[in-house]
Amino acid sequence: MNVNAIPFNHIKVTGVTALVLIAGLASCEYKTAQSSLATKTQTFTPQTQPSSYGVQTAQITGKTSGIAVVKLDGFRVNVSFDFEAHPDSYGVPGSEFTAVDVTQLTINEITDVNGKSYNDFTDYNDHRNINALLKGFIEKNRLVEE
Protein backbone atom coordinates (compact mmCIF):
# COMPACT_ATOMS: atom_id res chain seq x y z
CA MET A 1 0.00 0.00 0.00
CA ASN A 2 1.30 3.29 -1.03
CA VAL A 3 0.23 5.80 1.59
CA ASN A 4 1.72 9.22 1.76
CA ALA A 5 2.28 10.70 5.17
CA ILE A 6 0.86 14.06 6.06
CA PRO A 7 2.95 16.66 4.39
CA PHE A 8 5.37 18.18 6.95
CA ASN A 9 6.66 21.66 6.32
CA HIS A 10 9.92 22.05 8.24
CA ILE A 11 10.20 25.78 7.60
CA LYS A 12 6.80 26.58 9.12
CA VAL A 13 7.42 24.41 12.20
CA THR A 14 10.82 26.04 12.78
CA GLY A 15 9.35 29.52 12.39
CA VAL A 16 6.46 28.89 14.81
CA THR A 17 8.83 27.34 17.36
CA ALA A 18 11.15 30.35 17.14
CA LEU A 19 8.23 32.75 17.64
CA VAL A 20 7.03 30.84 20.71
CA LEU A 21 10.52 30.89 22.22
CA ILE A 22 10.97 34.61 21.55
CA ALA A 23 7.56 35.43 23.07
CA GLY A 24 8.35 33.27 26.11
CA LEU A 25 11.73 34.88 26.68
CA ALA A 26 10.33 38.39 26.16
CA SER A 27 7.80 37.84 28.95
CA CYS A 28 10.52 36.82 31.46
CA GLU A 29 12.30 39.38 33.66
CA TYR A 30 16.01 39.41 33.14
CA LYS A 31 18.20 39.93 36.20
CA THR A 32 21.95 40.20 36.45
CA ALA A 33 23.73 37.14 37.68
CA GLN A 34 24.79 37.28 41.32
CA SER A 35 28.15 35.80 42.15
CA SER A 36 28.31 33.40 45.05
CA LEU A 37 31.72 34.85 45.95
CA ALA A 38 30.18 38.16 47.05
CA THR A 39 28.75 36.60 50.21
CA LYS A 40 32.09 35.05 51.11
CA THR A 41 33.95 38.37 51.05
CA GLN A 42 31.59 40.18 53.43
CA THR A 43 33.12 41.01 56.78
CA PHE A 44 31.66 39.92 60.07
CA THR A 45 30.56 42.78 62.30
CA PRO A 46 29.96 41.69 65.89
CA GLN A 47 27.25 43.36 67.90
CA THR A 48 29.10 45.30 70.55
CA GLN A 49 28.05 48.10 72.79
CA PRO A 50 30.24 51.07 73.64
CA SER A 51 32.21 51.13 76.86
CA SER A 52 30.90 53.12 79.80
CA TYR A 53 33.25 55.37 81.72
CA GLY A 54 32.98 57.33 84.96
CA VAL A 55 35.33 59.01 87.41
CA GLN A 56 34.93 57.61 90.92
CA THR A 57 37.65 59.70 92.55
CA ALA A 58 40.23 62.18 91.35
CA GLN A 59 42.91 63.89 93.37
CA ILE A 60 45.53 66.44 92.36
CA THR A 61 48.77 65.30 93.99
CA GLY A 62 51.20 67.86 92.62
CA LYS A 63 51.38 71.03 90.60
CA THR A 64 50.95 69.13 87.32
CA SER A 65 50.08 65.57 88.37
CA GLY A 66 47.25 63.60 89.89
CA ILE A 67 45.71 60.20 90.50
CA ALA A 68 42.21 58.93 89.82
CA VAL A 69 40.02 55.85 89.92
CA VAL A 70 38.01 55.45 86.71
CA LYS A 71 35.18 52.97 86.31
CA LEU A 72 35.37 51.18 82.95
CA ASP A 73 32.63 48.63 82.18
CA GLY A 74 32.45 47.34 85.76
CA PHE A 75 36.22 47.43 86.29
CA ARG A 76 38.09 49.92 88.45
CA VAL A 77 41.07 51.41 86.69
CA ASN A 78 43.62 53.16 88.93
CA VAL A 79 45.43 55.78 86.86
CA SER A 80 48.02 58.47 87.40
CA PHE A 81 48.22 61.39 85.02
CA ASP A 82 50.14 64.53 84.20
CA PHE A 83 48.39 67.64 82.96
CA GLU A 84 48.95 71.18 81.83
CA ALA A 85 46.70 74.00 83.01
CA HIS A 86 46.24 77.31 81.23
CA PRO A 87 43.72 80.17 81.46
CA ASP A 88 40.95 80.15 78.86
CA SER A 89 37.56 81.74 78.19
CA TYR A 90 34.56 81.40 75.91
CA GLY A 91 35.13 84.88 74.49
CA VAL A 92 32.52 86.51 76.68
CA PRO A 93 33.54 88.75 79.60
CA GLY A 94 33.21 86.80 82.85
CA SER A 95 33.56 83.38 81.23
CA GLU A 96 37.18 82.86 82.20
CA PHE A 97 38.18 79.44 83.47
CA THR A 98 41.25 77.27 83.79
CA ALA A 99 41.51 74.75 80.96
CA VAL A 100 43.26 71.43 81.52
CA ASP A 101 44.97 69.16 79.01
CA VAL A 102 45.97 65.66 80.12
CA THR A 103 49.45 65.08 78.66
CA GLN A 104 50.29 61.63 80.03
CA LEU A 105 48.14 58.80 81.35
CA THR A 106 49.50 55.75 83.15
CA ILE A 107 47.37 52.72 83.98
CA ASN A 108 48.55 51.54 87.40
CA GLU A 109 46.13 48.72 88.18
CA ILE A 110 42.88 47.23 86.92
CA THR A 111 40.59 45.38 89.33
CA ASP A 112 37.03 44.13 89.28
CA VAL A 113 34.46 44.90 91.99
CA ASN A 114 35.71 41.93 94.04
CA GLY A 115 39.31 43.18 93.99
CA LYS A 116 40.70 40.61 91.54
CA SER A 117 43.55 42.15 89.55
CA TYR A 118 43.68 42.01 85.74
CA ASN A 119 46.33 42.74 83.12
CA ASP A 120 46.02 46.00 81.20
CA PHE A 121 43.39 45.46 78.48
CA THR A 122 42.82 49.10 77.58
CA ASP A 123 43.43 50.40 74.08
CA TYR A 124 43.92 53.77 72.39
CA ASN A 125 40.21 54.64 72.47
CA ASP A 126 40.00 53.89 76.20
CA HIS A 127 42.99 56.15 76.90
CA ARG A 128 41.56 58.95 74.76
CA ASN A 129 38.17 58.71 76.50
CA ILE A 130 39.73 58.58 79.98
CA ASN A 131 41.82 61.67 79.15
CA ALA A 132 38.69 63.56 78.07
CA LEU A 133 36.80 62.36 81.12
CA LEU A 134 39.55 63.51 83.50
CA LYS A 135 39.80 66.86 81.72
CA GLY A 136 36.07 67.45 82.07
CA PHE A 137 36.01 66.32 85.71
CA ILE A 138 38.89 68.59 86.72
CA GLU A 139 37.46 71.61 84.90
CA LYS A 140 33.92 71.05 86.18
CA ASN A 141 34.97 70.68 89.81
CA ARG A 142 37.63 73.41 89.54
CA LEU A 143 40.33 71.20 91.03
CA VAL A 144 43.00 73.35 89.39
CA GLU A 145 43.04 77.12 89.41
CA GLU A 146 45.73 79.02 87.57
Query: For the chain, what is the HEC assignment?
Result: CCCCCCCCCHHHHHHHHHHHHHHHHHHCCCCCCCCCHHHHCCCCCCCCCCCCEEEEEEEECCCCEEEEEEEECCEEEEEEEEEEEEEECCCCCCCCEEEEEEEEEEEEEEECCCCCEECCCCCHHHHHHHHHHHHHHHHHCCCCCC
Domain positions in the chain = 53-140
Task: Write down the mean pLDDT value for the chain.
Answer: 84
Please tell me the pTM assigned to this model.
Answer: 0.64
pLDDT tens digit sequence for 86-115: 999 888 998 888 999 999 999 999 999 898
Kindly state the average pLDDT of the residues 45-59. 84
Kindly state the average pLDDT of the residues 105-127. 92
Greater pLDDT, 20 or 36: 20
